[in-house]
A and B are shown apart, each in its own frame.
Chain A
Amino acid sequence: MANTVGVIFSHIGDENLPELSRHRTMASVPFGGRYRLIDFALSNMVNSGITTVGLVTKNNYQSLIDHLGSGKDWDLARKDGGIILLPPYSDETDAPYTTRLEALMGITGFLNHRSEDHVVISDCDGIARMDIADIVRFHEEKGADITMVYHEEAHVDSSYYIILSPDETGRVRELKINPRVKGTCNLYVNVMVMSREFLINTIQDAVTRGFSSFGRDILAKNVDTLKLYAYKFEGYHASVNTIQDYYSHSMRLLDKSVRDELFGARDIYTKIRDSAPSKYLTGASVVNSLISDGCIIEGRVENSILFRGVRVGKGSVVKDSIIMQDTVIGTNVHLGCVITDKNVVIRDNRRLAGCEALPYFVSKGRML
C-alpha cells in the first residue's frame, strides 16, 4: 500500500490526561507494560504497508523523540520517508497553532512534497489493531471525499467524541460534535482518510476563509455537500480520554481475548530497551498480571500491570495497580488501585490506596 502517507497528531487530547501528559505528549503516554500510545497508531500504519509518517508535534515532545529515535524499531528508518517530525511552524506574527486545522495548515509543505494519493490522519488516543489498507480500500470504493472511522459503543461519555450517523450505504447523514447522548452511539475514533489533493485544497480553502476548526468548519458544515463516509471498525477499540479510562483500559489487557486481539495476529512495535527477562525470586507470588521485562519481583503482585524495570520488594503487595517503568517498591509496601508514573520510589512500609473510579496517582520521579 505504497500510495498512502500517514499523519499522526501527537498532542491532541493532552488536556484530558493532565496527570500523564504534563511532561509528555499524548503520543508518549506509557501503556500496557511496554508501549506508548503512539505505538498502536504507528504499528497499524506500518503493518498496513505505510512507510512514511509525518508526526505533528506541539510542545513537550522530547520524550516522544527519545521514544522514536531514528524510527528503526518500527521499521521506519528509511532513506525515502520514514518518520518525519513536523514541529510547530510559525513566523514572527503567528503564535503556534491551537487547533487541528491550524496544525494541518502548518504541514502543507510536507503534504505538497509527498507523492502518495491518500493521507490517513490519526490521533494517539486509540488502542486498537486496525488494518488501514482496508479503510483506504473502502474509501476508494465509495469514492469518498473523507472517510471517518467509527466504533459502536455503549456506556461512554459521548461529550469527548464526534458522533456519526451513517445511512445504510455508509454515507454520513448527521455529525454531532461533543454531544451528550445516551445509549449506544457511533464514536468517531479520530482516524480518517482522504486524498492528499483533497486535503491540500481543503486546507487552502480554509486559510482563505479564515476557518479554525476542522470539525466545526469543515466536517459539520458540509455534511450535505461533502461525500463523507463512515467506516465501521468492528474490532476491539479503546479510547483514552481520562485517567479513569486509562486505568480501566489498562486493566482490560488482563483479559486474554483483548490481548489476543491487540497483540495476536500482528506485532505492535515499540522502542527496544535491551532489558533482561524479568526475575521472579523465591517467595514471589504473581497472579493475573502482566509483567514487562527487567522486573525483579519478590513480593505479591495481583491484577496489576508492571512496566519495564520495576522492583517489588519482599512482603509487599501490589494489587489492582499500574506501575510504570523503573518504579522501585520497597519491602512491606501495600498498594491498591495505584498508578505510579516512571521512576517513582515507594519506601518500605508505605500504604497507598485509591479506588477503581479514582486510582491514586503518583507523578513521575516522586519519592514516597
Chain B
Amino acid sequence: MLRKKECVAMLLAGGQGSRLYALTNHIAKPAVAFGAKYRIIDFPLSNCINSGIDTVGVLTQYEPLELNEYIGNGQPWDLDRAFGGVHILSPYQAKRKSSWFEGTANAIYQNLHFMKKYDPDYILILSGDHIYKMNYAEMLRAHKETGADCTVAAIQVPLRDAPRFGILNTRADGTIYEFEEKPKAPKSDLASMGIYIFTANKLFTYLEKDDADPNSSKDFGKDILPAMLAAGEKLYCYRFKGYWKDVGTIPSLWESNMDLLGEDPAFDVGDADWKIHSRNPLAPPEYIGTGAVVENSMVALGCEIEGTVRNSLLASSVVVEEGAVVEDSVIMAGTVIGRGARVSYSIVDENVVIEENATVGSAKGAGSAIAVLGRNIRIGAGARIEGGKIIDKDYKGE
C-alpha cells in the first residue's frame, strides 16, 4: 500500500486572540465557544473532513490545555485514523535548537518532519480564527488546474475595510502580482483569508530559505508570499464566495453569533449537506418552562429556561430563572442567570453565576457597547455591570 496523503492540512491554532480579552484569558482563540454548541476550531476541522482531507496537524502554543483536550483523538470529526487523522503539534525541545513558534511560517517549518512523513503533494495552511464553510477540495482542484505554486483564498470586502486585511493585487487571469499587508491605500478589495495551498516541495524550499534569513519575521503574509512573488513563482488567487468572518474581536464574535439566528440565517449551521461536527455535550433536551418566552434564539441541550430569552444564543446547560431576561446576548455553557436578573447586549463566558436582580450590559442601541464576563465568575445579587465593561473577577456590586 502506498503510504501517502495527497494533501495535508496544517491548522495554525496557537494565537492568543488578545482582542477577545477576558474570553481568551485561559484558552486559545480557536477554543472559544461559538454558536451555542461549537468552538471556532470546529469550522476548519469540519471543512477538512467534509472536503476529504483527513490528515490535519494542529499547531498550538498559547494556553493549549483546553484545546488539546477538546480535540482529543479527533473522533468527533471522524479524524481518528490509523494513518493520518488529527495531530496536535506543540513546540518541542530538540537536540540542536529548541524554541517557541516564532511566526506562522516558523511554526510550520518546525513541523516539516510531520508533513514529510505523509509524502504529500500539497499543503493546505489554515487558521483557527474564522467562521466559514468552504470546500477545500474545490480550491485544490483550482490549484492543480492553474499549475500554481501557491494558491491564496480571497474574499471580496468593502473597500473601506480593506486596510484591516492582507490585500491581494491580481491580474485579469487571477495571478497575484503583489501582496500588501494592511495597506493604507488599498488597490484592490480582495482580502486574503489566511488559507493557502502550496505545492509541497515549493513550500518546503521557501520555508528553509526563510528560516536561514535572520531578517525575516517568519510570517506567511509578510515573508513567504513576498519572497515567492519576488522569485517569480506562480501565485494564484482563489475567489471564495460565501460567508466568512474573522471573529477576532468582541463585536465581530457577537455579530457572527447573531448571524446564525432566524429562519433564513446569514450563516446556517444546520446544513445537512455540510455538517459542522463538534464534541457534543452530554445533556438531556432543553426544558422551556411554563412562564418562559423564547424568541428568535438558539438554545442548546440541557438548558432550563423559566424566564425570557430574545435574540440570543444559549449554549448547553444554561439556566435562566423565572423573571430573568436575556436579550441580544451570547451565553456560554453552564452559566446561571438568577431570578429577576437582566442580561442585555453581552457575551457571558462559561460557568458564570449572575445572581438575582443583577443587571449586566445596557440595551443594544446607538452608542451602546457589548459587556463581557469572563468564565467562572460570580456577579452578586443586584449588582450592575455597565455596557462595554469587561469583567473577569467576581463582582459583588457597589
Contacts and interface: CB of A to CB of B under 8 A. Distances in A.
A34 B270 contact: no
Contact of B284 (A33, A272, A278, A288): A33
Contacts of B35: 276-277
Contacts of B299: 277-278, 280, 291
Interface string B272-301: 000111101011111111111111111111
A72 interface: yes
A290 B282 contact: no
Interface of B: 35-37, 75-76, 261-263, 269-270, 275-278, 280, 282-301, 304, 309, 313, 315
B300 A33 contact: no
A327 to B, nearest CB: 15
B285 A292 contact: yes
A301 B290 CA distance: 11
A289 B287 CA distance: 6
A288 B289 contact: yes
Report, as a range, how many residues of chain A touch the other chain. Answer: 35 or more
A278 B36 CA distance: 9
B165 to A, nearest CB: 29
Given A276-B270, A291-B299, A281 B285 contact: no
Interface string A296-311: 1010010001100000
A345 interface: no
Interface string A181-202: 0000000000000000000000
Given A279-B261, A279-B270, A290 B286 contact: yes
11 contacts: A32-B285, A259-B284, A262-B284, A269-B282, A274-B275, A278-B300, A288-B288, A290-B284, A291-B287, A292-B285, A296-B263
Nearest to A283: B295
B190 to A, nearest CB: 31
**A277, A290, A296, A306: most-surrounded residue (chain B CB, <10 A):** A277
A256 B287 contact: yes
A286 B292 contact: yes
Contacts of B313: 277
Contacts of A291: 285-288, 299
B270 A296 contact: yes
A301 B275 CA distance: 27
A292 B75 CA distance: 23
Interface in A234-289: 253-254, 256, 259, 262-263, 267-269, 272, 274-289
Contacts of A286: 288, 292, 294
Nearest to A287: B290
Given A274-B275, A274-B278, A294-B270, A281 B296 contact: yes
Nearest to A288: B290
A272 B278 CA distance: 10
A34 B198 CA distance: 44
Contacts of A293: 37, 285, 300-301
B276 A274 contact: yes
Contact of A281 (B262, B288, B301, B315): B262
Interface in A155-172: none
Contacts of B288: 286-291, 301
Contacts of A33: 284-285
A286 B297 CA distance: 12
Given A282-B295, A287-B290, A277 B284 contact: no
B171 to A, nearest CB: 41
Interface string A315-343: 00000000000000000000000000000
A78 to B, nearest CB: 14
Nearest to B278: A274
Nearest to B300: A277
Nearest to A35: B284
A282 B287 CA distance: 19
A249 B75 CA distance: 34
**A259, A272, A301: most-surrounded residue (chain B CB, <10 A):** A272
A79 B286 CA distance: 35
Contacts of B292: 286-287
Given A274-B277, A298-B263, A284 B294 contact: yes
Given A34-B284, A274-B275, A290-B287, A281 B270 contact: no
Nearest to A269: B282
B282 A267 contact: yes
A301 B293 CA distance: 11
A263 B283 contact: yes
A284 B295 CA distance: 6
Contacts of B76: 272, 274
A280 B295 contact: yes
A277 B296 contact: no
A186 B382 CA distance: 51
A185 to B, nearest CB: 30
Contacts of A72: 75
Contacts of B263: 281, 296, 298
B365 to A, nearest CB: 19
A82 B293 CA distance: 43
A173 B175 CA distance: 89
A262 B283 CA distance: 11
B276 A277 contact: no
Contact of B286 (A275, A278, A282, A284): A278
A273 to B, nearest CB: 8
Q: Which 6 A-B pairs have the closest CB atoms?
A: A33-B285, A276-B270, A277-B36, A277-B300, A292-B285, A290-B285
A281 B285 CA distance: 18
Contacts of B315: 277
A294 B36 CA distance: 12
Nearest to A70: B75
A277 B278 CA distance: 12
Nearest to B286: A291
Contact of B296 (A259, A282, A294): A282
A251 to B, nearest CB: 13
B330 to A, nearest CB: 12
A32 to B, nearest CB: 7
A32 B269 CA distance: 24
B246 to A, nearest CB: 22
A280 B275 contact: no
Contacts of A263: 283-284
Contacts of A253: 284
Contacts of B283: 263
Contacts of A269: 282
Contacts of A284: 294-295
Nearest to A43: B282
A280 B296 contact: yes
